C-alpha cells in the first residue's frame, strides 16, 4: 500500500506520466504518404478543436497606422491590426512593421517574416525580439512583430511586463477557446495582413519565435500553410516532457496526448521548411534530448515528401534565449527557403542596436484606447455567446430531458479509462471508533479516507471536501459543526491535493496550476479525476464501514471544492444532498480569477453543461444549500446578487416543485 503524506507527493505526476505513455504506446510513424495524409487530416482536425481555433480561413484585416520611425536601413511602422470581431467592437493587436529601405527603381517584392515573442517582459518591445527584427530587416526581409493577447501592450493595464498566464488565461478555459487558439487565429490574421502589403511577396512568408513564441510558431506553422519557413526556438521538446514542468497557459493543448505527440504536429509543417533550434542548457521540456525524439518522428514525414533537406535541428550551446548564434542560424534558413539563396548555413548578423522598450511602443505610456478589450473581458464575451443556449426550464419534463444528456456528458468525462472504480486494493486501519481507508482508485492512485462516527442516532454521513487537503477539512468549522450535529463525518485526501500535491504545484495565484495542466494534457481535467476519488471513497465506506448499507450522504464543498461537490452529486445518486460554503457560483468573469484552484474548470463546459448554476440545477429536487456564495474571482456575493447569479437554479427547483429544497444564505 502507498505511503502517506509528503512521501507520496510524486505519486500524481508518475500517474500522469504513465497515463501519457499508455496513450501514445505503440503509435507508428507512417510508412507511406497516403498513410501520413490520413493521419495528418485527423491530427489537424483534433488540434483545431483542442485549442478552440474559431476559424482558420483568411479574412480582411482592418489596420491603422499610428506613426512611423526612420532608422538606418529600415523604418518602423507602428500599426494596430483588428484581428477578431466581437459583439461590440474588435480585438486589436499592436504591431511593429520593420520595413527595409529599397533603392529607387527596385520594385521587387520581398519575403516577410512574422516575429512572435515569448515570455520576455517587454514582449515585442523586448531587446531579444527587437534584435531579430532589426537583423532580418537589414538582410532584406519585411518583418512584422506583434504582441500576444494579454502581454506587452495588451495587458490588463497599460504598462509593459504583465503575464498572461495562470488566473488570467484560465478565464478562457470554460469557453473552450484556449489562449493558444486565440494566438493562432491572431497570427493568421497577421499573415492575412502581410499578404496585402505591396512590398511583400505573399508566397514567401516565414514565422519565428522563442519560448512561448516558439510554441506560437509551432502551431501557426502547423496550421497555416501560407507560412513556407517555420523556425521555432527553445520550444520544441515533446508533450510528454511537459509533464512535470511548469508551463504557461498559452502552451497548453488540452487532451493533445489522446491524439498526438509533438512529432505529428511538427509533421504538419511538411513539406514546407522547418528548422528547430534548441539550447543545450534549457528546461527539460525544451531540451535537445527531448527535441531529438520529436525530430526523429517528424523527419520521416518530410522524407515521404522527398523533402529531407527541408528539416534541420540546430542545438546551440547556451541557456534559454534567442541569442546571436540562434539568430544567425535562422537568417541562413530563412534566406535559403524564402529567397532561394545559399544552403541554409548561418549568416553573420548585421550591426544592430535594440532601442529602449518604451521608444518602440505603438501606444506609448497611457495612450492605449479605452476601447481596448482585455483577455478576461474577451473571455466574458465568449462566455456570453456560449450561454445563450442555456435557457431556464419551463416545465419538469423539459428539464428532465436536459438532465439526462448533461449528466451523461459528465459521466463520460469522469470515466476511469480501462478500470471500474469499485475494484483495486484496500487497506483498513482503526483507531478507537475512527477508521482510515486507503483505497486504490486506479493503478498508481491511492486515496485515503478518514471516517469518524457521529452520535448514536446519526442522520447520515457528511463528506467534507477541501482542495487544500484533508487536514484543512478536518480543521474547518464545517467539519466540527457537522460532527457536533451528530453526523458521521468523512474527509477524502483527493489526489494532487494537500500533502499529495506535487512540489511546486502553485504558480502565482493558481493553487493547483501544474497538476491541473498535467491533467489537461492527458484529457482528464482534475475535477473529473477527483469525482472518481469521491466515488471510490463512497464504495469503500459503504462496503467496509456500513457493511453494504450506505446511509444518507451529504457532500460539503468548501470554497473551490463547491463545484466538485455539485458534480460528484450530479453523477452519483448516492449523494442525497449538497452544501457549498464560500464557493463560487459562476466561472464567468471579466477579471482574472482570484487565488484558488483551477482544477474544477472544464474546457468548453459553457458550451455543454453550462455555468455553475446549470451544474447546481442538475441536483433538483435533492436538497442544495448554498452558504456565503462568491463570485468567480472569490468575492462574497450579497443576497440579491446571489439570487441573480443563481436564477437558473432557482427556476429549476421551482419547476421541479422543490423550491423549499434550495437554500441560499448570503449576506445582505
- The secondary element (H helix, E strand) that includes residue 149 is none
Full DSSP string of 394-460: SSHHHHHHHHHHHHHHHHHHHPPTTS-TT-S-EEEEEETTEEEEEEEEETTEEEEEEEE---TT---
The whole-number pLDDT of residue 23 equals: 96
| Between 572 and 56, residue with greater pLDDT | 572
Query: What is the structure's pLDDT at 2?
Result: 42
> Is residue 662 within 8 Å of 653, Cβ to Cβ?
yes
Task: Tell me what pLDDT residue 422 has.
Answer: 56
Binning pLDDT at 50, 70 and 90, where does residue 108 land? confident
* 8 A C-beta contact, residue 542 and residue 452: no
* Confidence class for position 5, pLDDT limits 50, 70, 90: low
pLDDT band at 54 (very low <50, low <70, confident <90, very high): confident
Question: Can you tell me the mean pLDDT for 564-591?
Answer: 97
| pLDDT value of position 206 | 98
- What pLDDT score does 533 carry? 97
Q: What is the distance between the terminal CA atoms of the chain, rounded to a whole angstrom?
A: 50
Could you count the other beta carbons within 10 Å of the beta carbon of residue 449? 25
- Asked if residue 419 has pLDDT above 70, the reply is no
- Cα atoms found within 13 Å of the Cα of residue 121, Cβ hemisphere only: 5
**In the chain, what's the furthest Cα-to-Cα distance?**
98
Predicted local distance difference test score (pLDDT) of residue 8: 82
Q: Where are the alpha helices (DSSP H) in 103-235?
A: 127-138, 166-169, 179-194, 212-223
CA distance 189 to 80: 12
* Residue 1 banded pLDDT, cuts 50, 70, 90: very low
pLDDT at residue number 425? 84
| Model pLDDT, residue 3 | 53
586's grid cell: 459562476
* Residue 56, C-beta contacts closer than 8 angstroms, at least 6 positions apart: 48, 184, 185, 188, 223, 224
pLDDT of 252-271, one tens digit each?
Answer: 999 999 999 999 999 999 99
What was the pLDDT predicted at 420? 54
Q: Rg of the Cα trace of the chain?
A: 27
For range 41-64, the mean pLDDT: 92
What average pLDDT score do residues 384-389 get?
Answer: 93
| 667 has a pLDDT exceeding 80 | no
What is the average pLDDT across 430-434?
Answer: 91
Residues sharing a CB contact under 8 Å with residue 54, sequence separation 6 or more, in sequence order: 177, 181, 185
Cα-Cα-Cα-Cα dihedral sign, residues 542, 547, 552, 555: negative
Q: What percent of the chain has pLDDT over 70?
A: 98
Q: Is the pLDDT of residue 63 over 50?
A: yes
Residue 445 near residue 15, CB atoms below 8 Å: yes
Residue length, the chain? 668
Q: What is the distance between the alpha carbons of residues 589 and 418, in angstroms, rounded to a whole number?
A: 37
Contact (Cβ atoms closer than 8 angstroms) between residue 141 and residue 113: yes
> What strands, in cross-sheet order, belong to the sheet with 624-627?
426-431, 434-442, 445-452, 488-493, 461-466, 553-558, 575-581, 624-627, 662-665
Buried b (16+ CB within 10 A) or exposed e, 582-621: bbbbbbbbbbbbeebbbbbbbbbbbbbbbbbbbbbbbbbb
Reading the block at residue 148, the C-alpha cell is 500576444
Confidence label for 6 from pLDDT (cuts 50, 70 and 90): low
pLDDT at 4 over 60: no
**Average pLDDT of the chain to the nearest whole number:** 95
Q: How many CB atoms are closer than 10 A to CB 94? A: 23
Q: Is the peptide bond between 271 and the residue preceding it cis, with omega within 30 degrees of 0?
A: yes
Q: What is the pLDDT of residue 426?
A: 87
Specify the pLDDT at position 105: 65
* Degrees, nearest 5: CA angle 137-140-145: 35
Amino acid at each position: 500500500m502507498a505511503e502517506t503524506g509528503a512521501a507520496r507527493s510524486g505519486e500524481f505526476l508518475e500517474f500522469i506520466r504513465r497515463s501519457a505513455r499508455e496513450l501514445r504506446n505503440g503509435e507508428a510513424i507512417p510508412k507511406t504518404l497516403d498513410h501520413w495524409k490520413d493521419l495528418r487530416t485527423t491530427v489537424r482536425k483534433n488540434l483545431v478543436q483542442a485549442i478552440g481555433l474559431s476559424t482558420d480561413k483568411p479574412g480582411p484585416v482592418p489596420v491603422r497606422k499610428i506613426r512611423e520611425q526612420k532608422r538606418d536601413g529600415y523604418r518602423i511602422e507602428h500599426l494596430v491590426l483588428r484581428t477578431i470581431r466581437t459583439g461590440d467592437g474588435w480585438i486589436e493587436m499592436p504591431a511593429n512593421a520593420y520595413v527595409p529601405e529599397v533603392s529607387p527603381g527596385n520594385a521587387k517584392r520581398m519575403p516577410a517574416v512574422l516575429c512572435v515573442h515569448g515570455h520576455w517582459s517587454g514582449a515585442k518591445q523586448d531587446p531579444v525580439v527587437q534584435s531579430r527584427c532589426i537583423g532580418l530587416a537589414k538582410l532584406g526581409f519585411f518583418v512584422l512583430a506583434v504582441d500576444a493577447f494579454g502581454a506587452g501592450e495588451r495587458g490588463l493595464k497599460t504598462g509593459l511586463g504583465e503575464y498572461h498566464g495562470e488566473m488570467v488565461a484560465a478565464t478562457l478555459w470554460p469557453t473552450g477557446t484556449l489562449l493558444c487558439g486565440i494566438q493562432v487565429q491572431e497570427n493568421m490574421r497577421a499573415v492575412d495582413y502581410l499578404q496585402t502589403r505591396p512590398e511583400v511577396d505573399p508566397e514567401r512568408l516565414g514565422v519565428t519565435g522563442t519560448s512561448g513564441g516558439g510554441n506560437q510558431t509551432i502551431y501557426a506553422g502547423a496550421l497555416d500553410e501560407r507560412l513556407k519557413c517555420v523556425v521555432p526556438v527553445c520550444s520544441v521538446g515533446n508533450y510528454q516532457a511537459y509533464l512535470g514542468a511548469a508551463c504557461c497557459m498559452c502552451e497548453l493543448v488540452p487532451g493533445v496526448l489522446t491524439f498526438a505527440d509533438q512529432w505529428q504536429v511538427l509533421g504538419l509543417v511538411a513539406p514546407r521548411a522547418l528548422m528547430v533550434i534548441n539550447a543545450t542548457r534549457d528546461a527539460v521540456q525544451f531540451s535537445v534530448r527531448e527535441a531529438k525524439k520529436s525530430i526523429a518522428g517528424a523527419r520521416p514525414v518530410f522524407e515521404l515528401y522527398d523533402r529531407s533537406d527541408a528539416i534541420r535541428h540546430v542545438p546551440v550551446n547556451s541557456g534559454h534565449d534567442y541569442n546571436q548564434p540562434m539568430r544567425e542560424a535562422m537568417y541562413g534558413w530563412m534566406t535559403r527557403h524564402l529567397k532561394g539563396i545559399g544552403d541554409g548555413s548561418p549568416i553573420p548578423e548585421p550591426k544592430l542596436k535594440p532601442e529602449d522598450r518604451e521608444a518602440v511602443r505603438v501606444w506609448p505610456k497611457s495612450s492605449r484606447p479605452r476601447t481596448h478589450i482585455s483577455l478576461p473581458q474577451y473571455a466574458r464575451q465568449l462566455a456570453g455567446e456560449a450561454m445563450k443556449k442555456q435557457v431556464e426550464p419551463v416545465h419538469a419534463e423539459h428539464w428532465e430531458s436536459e438532465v439526462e444528456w448533461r449528466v451523461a456528458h459528465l459521466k463520460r468525462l469522469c470515466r476511469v479509462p480501462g478500470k471500474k472504480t469499485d475494484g483495486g486494493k484496500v487497506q483498513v486501519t482503526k483507531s478507537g471508533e475512527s477508521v482510515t481507508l486507503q483505497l486504490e482508485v486506479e493503478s498508481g492512485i491511492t486515496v485515503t479516507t478518514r471516517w469518524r462516527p457521529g452520535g448514536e442516532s446519526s442522520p447520515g454521513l457528511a463528506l467534507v471536501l477541501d482542495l487544500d487537503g484533508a487536514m484543512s477539512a478536518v480543521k474547518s468549522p464545517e467539519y466540527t459543526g457537522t460532527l457536533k450535529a451528530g453526523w458521521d463525518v468523512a474527509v477524502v485526501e483527493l489526489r494532487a491535493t494537500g500533502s499529495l500535491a506535487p512540489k511546486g504545484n502553485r504558480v502565482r495565484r493558481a493553487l493547483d496550476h501544474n497538476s491541473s495542466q498535467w491533467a489537461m494534457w492527458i484529457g482528464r481535467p482534475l475535477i473529473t479525476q477527483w469525482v472518481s476519488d469521491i466515488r471510490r471513497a463512497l464504495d469503500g465506506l459503504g462496503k467496509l464501514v456500513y457493511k453494504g448499507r450506505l446511509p444518507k450522504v451529504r457532500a460539503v464543498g468548501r470554497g473551490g471544492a463547491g463545484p466538485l461537490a455539485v458534480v460528484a452529486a450530479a453523477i452519483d445518486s448516492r449523494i442525497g444532498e449538497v452544501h457549498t460554503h464560500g464557493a463560487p457560483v459562476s466561472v464567468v468573469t471579466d477579471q482574472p480569477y482570484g487565488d484558488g484552484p483551477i482544477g474544477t474548470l472544464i474546457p468548453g463546459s459553457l458550451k455543454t453543461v453550462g455555468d455553475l448554476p446549470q451544474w447546481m440545477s442538475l441536483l433538483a429536487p435533492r436538497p442544495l444549500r448554498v452558504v456565503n456564495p462568491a463570485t468567480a474571482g472569490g468575492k462574497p456575493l450579497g443576497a440579491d446578487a446571489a439570487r441573480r447569479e443563481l436564477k437558473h437554479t432557482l427556476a429549476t427547483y421551482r419547476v421541479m416543485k422543490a423550491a423549499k429544497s434550495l437554500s441560499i444564505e448570503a449576506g445582505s
